[in-house]
Amino acid sequence: MKLFVQVALFALLSYHLVEGDCDSNLGNELIDGLLDMVLKIKLSENCSHPNTSEIPAFSASMTNAKVLGATEILQFDKVWTNNGNYYDPNTGIFKAHLKGVYQFSFTVMSSRGKNLRVYLWQNGNRLVGVYPGIGYNEGTANMVINLEKGDKVYVKCGGSGHGFIHTANGYWYSMFSGYLIHATK
User: For residues 117 and 161, what is the distance between their CA atoms, to the nearest angstrom?
Assistant: 10
- Quick one: pLDDT band at residue 84, thresholds 50, 70, 90? very high
Prediction pTM value: 0.72
Residue 63: phi and psi, rounded to 5, are -95, -20
pLDDT tens digits for 123-167?
Answer: 999 999 999 988 889 999 999 999 999 999 999 987 666 788 888
User: For residues 102 and 142, what is the distance between their CA atoms, to the nearest angstrom?
Assistant: 11
